[in-house]
Amino acid sequence: MLNVVILAAGMGKRMQSALPKVLHPIAGKPMLMHVVEAARQLEPSRIVVVAGHGAEQLQQYLAGQTDIHVVLQQPQQGTGHAVMQAEPALLGEHPDDTTLVLYGDVPLVQSDTLKALLAARQDGLAILTEFLDDPTGYGRIVRNAQGTISRIVEHKDATDAEHQIREVNTGIMAAPTVRLRDWLSRIDNKNAQGEYYLTDVVGLAVADGVAVNAAHPSFPWETLGVNSRVQQAQLERAWQAEQARRLLEQGVSIMDPSRFDVRGSLQCGRDVYIDVGCVFEGDVVLGDGVRVGPHCVLKNVQLGAGTVVHAFSHLDQSRTAELASIGPYARLRPGAVLERGAAVGNFVEVKNSTLGADTKASHLSYLGDAQIGERVNIGAGTITCNYDGVNKYRTIIEDDAFIGSDSQLVAPVRVGRGATIGAGTTLTRDAPDAELTLSRTPQSTISNWKRPVKK
Ligand code: UD1
Ligand code: CA
């Protein structure tokens, strides 16, 4: 049985924020949720979050997550004290049962690394350690002459000789739950910080003859903690670089990995090309050969193979079939669907509307709540008047219709199959199939008219 305890009671003073530190995002997701998701991949029996500073906000945030137990640590008297607060919630009586301790402000630890740590525990204790050129501030791993771990000493309690040790404690550990309960009851706060150190369980384990093994993270960013906005920004860049690297390895072209942001998941087919400065949010799926031009935002979007998004386009909850074309400067709002070969050009806004195959709206239009058939030509400046100030109505445009420029389609209204709407028409009634419909004041010329002159 596996318990995961996530320490998240710390104040995060250096963030200078009203938001609890662990709710600050990396890649658009609260740090705590990165840790929770890494934990969930281990299929634990229980996840316990230790809250303290900002506990109310944390509890509110976690209210919907039924697999997470929140316990309070008040006041905060150290990492050992924090785990003591979680102790009553821990499950398991068997010597094989394990408790894994993670930090809510160390968001990017990968589940593969945690699996390696759990494997290293065997029938003893395992700690995640790494080697740093500058170990200042970290707890040091003290090993005996045989090279086995004998204890952890905190920086503030260490001797000059111990300060030379480059192997540091990341804070992440996997312990036998039954033993951990006993060790926690035996640690004290007689140290430089007057805190109950979780790290003291290592010395107690050794004294009890329990083996202590180390495992190491695969990537240096996995164990970086966030204490300030500077560190948050650094970790954000490290994570974005990693996401870009993974996509590049999969064969995606990313013009500049340092100007690339995924805040969610991005799935790409073969030969996808992404220009600089794009932001992908939520779940984005790009089919084979999709090209995304510079400075586009795509949020919860699915693009069919061969679709091209030109520069400066904004797409939200939208979908295209193959070979659609969007932008530059286009906006697809929720419910926009472009069928095969459909195109929206510059300054076209589409909301809750379907454009059938090969339909084009090339310039300056608003298409809202519209069902548009195939091979329709939407002239420049066409507006669907879908809203009377209270209710919204649908516009239906059938296959092969031609809407002349600067027309207003006052919904509810239908344009029949093959109908032509003359430029500048305000359409208030249905237009029949295959006919020309227009509303237009006849043109007149007043001869001998003179412009007024200033008196
Ligand atoms: C701790 C480790 C140190 C390790 C370092 C890695 C101890 C005694 N020391 O030191 O060996 O090198 O992490 O970063 O464990 N927290 C609580 N309640 C508390 C205190 C802390 O929930 O009372 C949480 C914090 O919110 C944070 C984590 O525990 O997420 C670590 O606390 P922090 O004060 O940063 O630990 P360090 O003193 O840096
Ligand atoms: Ca501390």
pLDDT at residue 196, rounded to an integer: 98
* Of 375, 373, 364, nearest in space to 408 by CA: 364
* Of 140, 143, 166, nearest in space to 153 by CA: 140
- Give helix 79-86 / helix 177-186 axis angle, nearest 10°: 130
Q: Does 155 participate in catalysis according to the annotation?
A: no
d(CA 296, CA 309): 8
Structure tokens that stand for 181 in this block: 């309960």
Q: Give residue 134 CA to ligand 2 midpoint distance, Å.
A: 18
State which ligand 1 atom lies nearest to the alpha carbon of 50.
22
Query: What is the reported pTM?
Result: 0.94
pLDDT at residue 436, rounded to an integer: 98
Ligand 1 site: residues with CB under 6 angstroms? 7-10, 50, 52, 73, 76-79, 81-82, 103-105, 138-139, 152, 154, 168-171, 197-199, 225
Q: Give residue 79 CA to ligand 1 midpoint distance, Å.
A: 5
d(CA 27, CA 165): 34
d(CA 242, CA 222): 11
* Of 280, 247, 248, nearest in space to 264 by CA: 280
Residue 432: is the preceding peptide bond cis (ω within 30°)?
Answer: no
Q: Are 403 and 386 contacting, i.e. CB atoms less than 8 angstroms apart? A: no
Q: Are 264 and 278 contacting, i.e. CB atoms less than 8 angstroms apart? A: no
Share in percent of the chain as helix, strand, coil (round to 5): 20, 35, 45
Structure tokens that stand for 172 in this block: 């992440």
Catalytic residue among 155, 216, 295, 363: 363
Q: Which residue, judged by its Cα, is nearest atom 11 of ligand 1?
A: 139
pLDDT at residue 383, rounded to an integer: 98
Whose atoms come closest to the Cα of 193: which ligand?
2
45: left (phi over 0), alpha (psi -120 to 50) or beta: alpha
Whose atoms come closest to the Cα of 154: which ligand?
1
Whose atoms come closest to the Cα of 105: which ligand?
1
Q: Are 116 and 224 contacting, i.e. CB atoms less than 8 angstroms apart? A: no
DSSP 8-state class, residue 382:
-
Longest pairwise C-alpha distance within the chain: 112
Q: Which residue, judged by its Cα, is nearest atom 39 of ligand 1?
A: 138
Q: Are 216 and 103 contacting, i.e. CB atoms less than 8 angstroms apart? A: no
Q: Which residue, judged by its Cα, is nearest atom 17 of ligand 1?
A: 9
Q: From the first residue on, what is the mean pLDDT of each consecutive set of 10 residues in the chain (455 residues)?
A: 97 94 98 98 98 97 96 97 98 97 98 98 97 96 97 98 98 98 98 97 98 97 97 98 98 98 98 98 98 98 99 98 98 99 98 98 98 98 96 98 98 98 98 97 95 95
Q: Which residue, judged by its Cα, is nearest atom 37 of ligand 1?
A: 138
Residue 44: is the preceding peptide bond cis (ω within 30°)?
Answer: no
Beta bridge partners of 351: 368
Residue ranges and CATH numbers for the domains of the chain are: 2-223 (3.90.550.10), 229-437 (2.160.10.10)
- What is the number of other CB atoms lying within 10 angstroms of the CB of residue 302? 19
Q: Are 154 and 80 contacting, i.e. CB atoms less than 8 angstroms apart? A: no
Q: Give residue 171 CA to ligand 1 midpoint distance, Å.
A: 7
* Of 133, 147, 157, nearest in space to 214 by CA: 147
Q: Give residue 8 CA to ligand 1 midpoint distance, Å.
A: 9
- Give helix 200-207 / helix 177-186 axis angle, nearest 10°: 110
d(CA 291, CA 454): 58
pLDDT at residue 11, rounded to an integer: 87
Q: Give residue 185 CA to ligand 2 midpoint distance, Å.
A: 20
State which ligand 1 atom lies nearest to the alpha carbon of 77.
23
Half-sphere exposure of residue 433: CA atoms within 13 angstroms, side-chain side: 4
Helix, strand, or coil (residue 24): coil
Q: Are 259 and 237 contacting, i.e. CB atoms less than 8 angstroms apart? A: no
Q: Give residue 430 CA to ligand 1 midpoint distance, Å.
A: 70
* Of 278, 226, 215, 178, nearest in space to 10 by CA: 226
What are residue 28's phi and psi, to 5 degrees?
Answer: 75, 0
